[in-house]
Amino acid sequence: MPRHFVDLFGVDPELANRLIDRALELKQRPAGERPLLLQGRCLGLLFEKPSMRTRVSFEAAITRLGGSAIFLRGDDVGLGVRESVVDFARVISQYVDALAVRTYSHKTVEVLAAAASVPVINALSDAAHPCQAMADLMTIRELRGALGGQTLVFVGDGNNVARSLAVGAALFGLKFVLACPEGYAFPGDYRARYAAAFPGSPLTLEHDPATAVRGADVVYTDVWASMGQEHEAESRRNDFTPFQVNETLLGLAAPDALFLHCLPARRGEEVVSKVLDGPQSQVILQAANRLHFQVALLEWLLAGESSAGDRP
Ligand code: CP
Ligand code: NVA
């Protein structure tokens, strides 16, 4: 059975810690001292939605490890239209050593993982963005030296990014607060799964952004309308306007609070430029860490425990 990385539910906290440790360690290495553990290996990238960071950071990550990538556009593959998800999974497994997929339905990623004989990585689905959340937690670890005991307040939609962050926060002992308008909280099936996985780390939901952000160690936001929700953009803009992360709202957080955003950002909507470009913002480091986390992830998925032999 190949290892997969479909969402953060089921990821062992010890593994999550180990991946971040390894990512931070490899990040420090100069080019000539990086382990080429995946020479001759190929990563398939199937993207049914647009991407910049995720696509480029995966291509760069596999290149750093000595391997290469093949990019597949969703329309060319026609998943579920030109051929079934299962047929695609079984055939692509003959050509590539791992597959990263960005798609709409989370079920598609699960079906791919069940049918593929190579590791499948979720590069964003409507329900999860686990690589993003791990890179974000790595960023907080890098800046703060530790993760436990901090409060991360996500101001915005209870979407893919927020859902993976909440699970990641529970894995690392951060308190997670979702500040959103009525109607945009986590769905019931997610809440039930979360409650079963983390009975000792209840999720906090807050509909007043000021109350939520007061004293926060990390303030995070994402677009109000995610990819695939563009037709709801206007109604979402109305609903989310009081939740904009501006200087007044961020000013309620701890004085040294970090501001994070997965990017791309819609300046003037969920965040203002003065915050995004301001002294508390760490969005560029956060984007950089997508690469470094994914190097560690690919190494774990494909080089397995052999990477332990590379440790100094
Ligand atoms: N944050 C993120 O996943 O960015 P892209 O959509 O550009 O990949
Ligand atoms: N929630 C956003 C994240 C983009 C990286 C989306 O799904 O469009």
- What is the CA(227)–ligand 2 centre distance, in A? 6
- What is the CA(263)–ligand 1 centre distance, in A? 6
Write down the pLDDT at residue 312. 37
**C-alpha of 218 from chain center:** 16
Nearest to 203 by CA among 243, 245, 151, 255: 151
Architecture of domain 132-286: 3-Layer(aba) Sandwich (3.40)
Look up residue 55 and give its two tokens. Answer: 């696509």
Contacts of 281 (CB under 8 A, 6+ apart): 258, 259, 260, 261, 275
Q: What span, in angstroms and rounded, lies between the C-alpha atoms of 185 and 174? A: 19
Question: Locate tokens 């890179």: which residue?
Answer: 135
Q: What span, in angstroms and rounded, lies between the C-alpha atoms of 1 and 131? A: 21
Out of 58, 227, 270, 271, give the residue to mutate to test ligand 2, the one with the largest number of ligand atoms within 8 Å of its CB: 227
Q: Strand 120-122 relative to strand 175-179: parallel, antiparallel, unpaired?
A: unpaired
Residue type, 153: V
The ranges assigned to domains in the chain are 8-129+290-310, 132-286
- What is the CA(165)–ligand 1 centre distance, in A? 15
| pLDDT 10s digits, 269-292 | 999 999 999 999 999 999 999 999
- What is the CA(264)–ligand 1 centre distance, in A? 6
Nearest to 152 by CA among 176, 178, 185, 180: 176
Write down the pLDDT at residue 309. 47
Out of 290, 291, 293, 294, give the residue to mutate to test ligand 1, the one with the largest number of ligand atoms within 8 Å of its CB: 290
Write down the pLDDT at residue 308. 45
Write down the pLDDT at residue 304. 78
Look up residue 165 and give its two tokens. Answer: 């962050």
Q: How much is the pTM?
A: 0.97
Contacts of 91 (CB under 8 A, 6+ apart): none
The answer to whether domain 8-129+290-310 and domain 132-286 are alike in fold is yes
User: Three-state DSSP class for 180?
Assistant: coil
Look at the domain 8-129+290-310 and name its fold.
Rossmann fold (3.40.50)
**291 touches 61 (CB < 8 A):** yes
Q: What span, in angstroms and rounded, lies between the C-alpha atoms of 273 and 268? A: 7
Intervals of the chain under pLDDT 70: 305-312
Nearest CA to ligand 2 atom 6: 226
Nearest to 118 by CA among 138, 140, 90: 90
The residues annotated with a catalytic role in the active site are: 102, 129, 132, 222, 262, 290
Out of 51, 109, 165, 223, give the residue to mutate to test ligand 2, the one with the largest number of ligand atoms within 8 Å of its CB: 223
- Locate the ligand 2 atom nearest the alpha carbon of residue 157 and give its number: 1
